[in-house]
Amino acid sequence: MFGWEYPPHITGGLGTACFGLTKAMVNQGDQVIFIVPKAYGDESTEAARVVSASDIEIDLSQQFYKDNWGDLSYIEVNSSLIPYVGLNDFYNVINNRVRTSTDITNLSNKRKYEFSGTYGSTLMEEVERYAMVAASVAKNYTYDIIHAHDWLTYKAGIIAKQISGKKLVIHVHATEFDRSGENINQAVYDVERYGMDNADHIVCVSELTRNIVITRYGQSPDKVSTIYNGANSLVYKDIQMEKAVKEKVVTFLGRVTFQKGPDYFIEAAAKVLKYDKNVRFVMAGSGDMLNRMIALVAKERISKNFHFTGFLKGDDVNKMYSLSDVYVMPSVSEPFGISPLEAMNANVPVIISKQSGVSEVLKYAIKVDFWDIDAMANAIYCLLNYPALSRMFIKKGKSEVESIRWEDSAMKLRNLYYKLLR
């Protein structure tokens, strides 16, 4: 498997999903080698064998590298990136050559690349170099099938397939249409399309994503399957926090970007506060829309009841859940969405958009259209003011999360592998 992050070094749901899936696969008897750009040594050893691409030596004297090195390109960016965010607001210099083929002669034949393991200014260059390392992986490891997670690793998967002749499965955790709406970044779309066209099978995290892959990327329905994420790998530390405020707390926790619909959350908050002043709203996260959201809160004149925490991770996320009375995910387009499962696991009732993959599997969550701020406001008000309703969603939701099992996802994936290997 090729991935870009693995716990505990994660920035979102991608790494969490990779851990849950690989742990379940190992438990059912599979052996998984998980390649990341940079391993830190403290990755969990209970699931996959984690290998750092930074430790893999490649031999540039081989003809394969000479033929492909001159085609590498990258995008310089002005700001840090994470794999789920579109590039349009960030990049400014496109498709500079990393090296020309003649530069090969000036390099020692054998070398290693030290990957940053982050999503910074050299991201696209690292994506290309990671693909080069994949050629060495393909030659030096024993395996039956190749599995690449999200667009950052598609090129690596394709090169490993070309070298080994093994089947390639790509796993679509998000698409450029989720990240950027209709204003897609063509460079990222092209990588996604290239990965899909060259894959032997495509796994999507929801039917919502599967439909996008079929209609927007021109893939045959027979080539695309849905395997939902699990939830039973989520670990919640029951941290008891004493509220510093007497009001109820409604939380948005996620990237403050177009995809997540933060503006709809603020507009719903303004409607709730017209009828119930005993509420505080929290937006926990960072992103390219943060300054606009701060301005929108000021425009709605709800600053006294609204708080911005910035990006939260680790125990701070659990602390936020422990302080919350309602969790809201108003995403415009959410391939799956692990945060509502985390909230339910932490005994918080949730409101999610119908435009999310997780809405396909959850029964005990209130579902609204992301644009319907009246319905969203009504749902928030009801959960805050009708304790019996809130208790029911908490009790049933906790039980439901525990029943959404990674073991089921791993078994479906194993069956898919067997089909491809026939």
In the predicted model, what is the mean pLDDT of the chain? 84
Q: Are residues 412 and 389 in the same domain?
A: no
Nearest to 337 by CA among 307, 367, 377: 367
Which domain covers residue 195, as residue numbers?
13-230+407-421
CATH number of the CATH domain containing 255: 3.40.50.2000
Q: Are residues 221 and 123 in the same domain?
A: yes
What are 282's strand-pairing partners?
Answer: 251, 307
Which own/partner pairs from 399-402 qualify as long-range (CB within 8 Å, at least 24 positions apart)?
A: 400/344, 400/362, 400/363, 400/364, 401/231, 401/232, 401/234, 401/341, 401/344, 401/345, 402/231, 402/232, 402/345
Whether residue 5 is contained in a domain is answered as: no
> Which segments of 12-65 are extended strands (E)?
33-36, 49-52, 58-59
Query: For residue 130, what pLDDT band results from cuts at 50, 70 and 90?
Result: confident
pLDDT value, residue 59:
63
- Per the CB < 8 A criterion, the answer to whether 304 and 272 are in contact is no
Q: Are residues 336 and 209 in the same domain?
A: no
Whether residue 355 is contained in a domain is answered as: yes
Query: For residue 94, what pLDDT band results from cuts at 50, 70 and 90?
Result: very low
pLDDT in tens, 217-261: 999 999 999 999 998 756 556 666 777 788 999 999 998 998 899
Residue 108: pLDDT over 60: no
Q: Are residues 140 and 281 in the same domain?
A: no
Residue 150: pLDDT over 80: yes
Residue 315's contacts (CB-CB under 8 Å, 6 or more residues apart) are 237, 239
CA distances in angstroms from 169 to 43, 88, 222, 225, listed in the order given: 24, 28, 14, 11
Report the alpha-carbon distance of residue 287 to residue 370 in Å, rounded: 19
Whether residue 263 is contained in a domain is answered as: yes
Residue 19: pLDDT over 80: yes
Report the alpha-carbon distance of residue 50 to residue 42 in Å, rounded: 10
Report the alpha-carbon distance of residue 355 to residue 28 in Å, rounded: 33
Report the alpha-carbon distance of residue 27 to residue 25 in Å, rounded: 5
Residue 386's contacts (CB-CB under 8 Å, 6 or more residues apart) are none
Q: Are residues 275 and 308 in the same domain?
A: yes
Whether residue 201 is contained in a domain is answered as: yes
Q: Are residues 219 and 254 in the same domain?
A: no
Q: Are residues 338 and 362 in the same domain?
A: yes
- Per the CB < 8 A criterion, the answer to whether 236 and 345 are in contact is yes
Q: Take residue 343 and report the two structure tokens written for it.
A: 């909230």
Which amino acid is residue 308, in one-letter code?
A: F
- Per the CB < 8 A criterion, the answer to whether 361 and 397 are in contact is no
pLDDT value, residue 113:
65
Q: Are residues 217 and 261 in the same domain?
A: no
Which amino acid is residue 165, in one-letter code?
A: G
More confident residue, 297 or 240: 297
Q: Hey, is 97 helix, strand or coil?
A: strand
Q: Are residues 23 and 98 in the same domain?
A: yes
When pLDDT is averaged across residues 353-378 and rounded to a whole number, the result is 97
Q: Hey, is 7 helix, strand or coil?
A: coil
Residue 328: pLDDT over 70: yes
More confident residue, 109 or 20: 20
Q: Take residue 238 and report the two structure tokens written for it.
A: 């029951």
- Per the CB < 8 A criterion, the answer to whether 116 and 122 are in contact is yes
Residue 206: pLDDT over 70: yes
* Alpha carbon distance, N-terminus to C-terminus of the chain: 20
Whether residue 279 is contained in a domain is answered as: yes
Nearest to 418 by CA among 152, 144, 47, 191: 144
Q: Are residues 252 and 396 in the same domain?
A: yes
Whether residue 7 is contained in a domain is answered as: no
Residue 2's contacts (CB-CB under 8 Å, 6 or more residues apart) are 35, 130, 134, 146, 147, 148, 149, 153, 156, 157, 160
The tally of domains found in the chain comes to 2
Q: Are residues 56 and 81 in the same domain?
A: yes
Whether residue 130 is contained in a domain is answered as: yes
Is the pTM higher than 0.75? The answer reads: yes
Q: Hey, is 16 helix, strand or coil?
A: helix
Whether residue 269 is contained in a domain is answered as: yes
Q: Are residues 305 and 357 in the same domain?
A: yes
Least confident among 3-7, 205-209, 269-273, 317-321: 3-7
- Per the CB < 8 A criterion, the answer to whether 266 and 328 are in contact is no
More confident residue, 108 or 181: 181
Query: For residue 344, what pLDDT band results from cuts at 50, 70 and 90?
Result: very high
When pLDDT is averaged across residues 8-35 and rounded to a whole number, the result is 86
